[in-house]
Amino acid sequence: MDKNDKLKYRNVSDMEQIRRLLFVFIVLISQFGYSLYAQTIEDYNEIGLGSSSLTLARNQVKYTLPSNFVLETMETEYLECLRSKDYTRQLPFAPFFNNKFVSKDGNCIVFIDVVPVASKDSKFIDFPYLQELKLDINTYHISRIMYDFKFNTGKNDISWQELPLHYESSKYANMAFNADTVITYPLTVWKKYKKRYSYCHVVLIQKNGRCPIRLYFLYNNKAKKSLNKYIKSLEGVFRYRDPKDYIQLIEPQQDSIIHIIPRKKKNLIQ
Q: Are residues 229 and 178 in the same domain?
A: yes
One domain for residues 144 and 129: yes
Same domain membership, residue 197 and residue 260: yes
Q: Quote the pTM value.
A: 0.73
Q: Are residues 192 and 241 in the same domain?
A: yes
Q: Residues 1, 76: one domain?
A: no
How many separate domains does the chain show?
2
> Does 75 lie in the same domain as 10?
no
103 and 232 in a common domain: yes
Apex 162 CA angle, 156 and 168, nearest 5: 120
| Same-domain check for residues 153 and 87 | yes
64 shares its domain with 195: yes
Burial of 54 (0-12, 13-18, 19+ CB in 10 A): buried
- In order along its 270 residues, the chain shows pLDDT tens digits of 555 555 554 554 556 665 555 544 433 333 333 333 345 554 555 555 555 677 788 788 898 889 999 999 888 888 999 999 998 776 655 667 888 999 999 999 999 988 766 555 555 555 454 455 555 667 778 888 998 999 999 998 889 999 999 999 999 999 999 999 999 999 999 999 999 999 999 999 999 888 889 999 999 999 999 999 999 999 999 999 998 888 877 666 654 433 333 344 433 332
Task: State whether 6 and 112 are in the same domain.
Answer: no
Range list of H helices, the chain: 3-37, 41-45, 52-58, 140-153, 170-177, 221-224, 227-232
Same domain, 2 and 70: no
Which residues constitute the domain of residue 5?
1-40
Least Cα distance to 147 among 93, 101, 196, 194 occurs for: 93
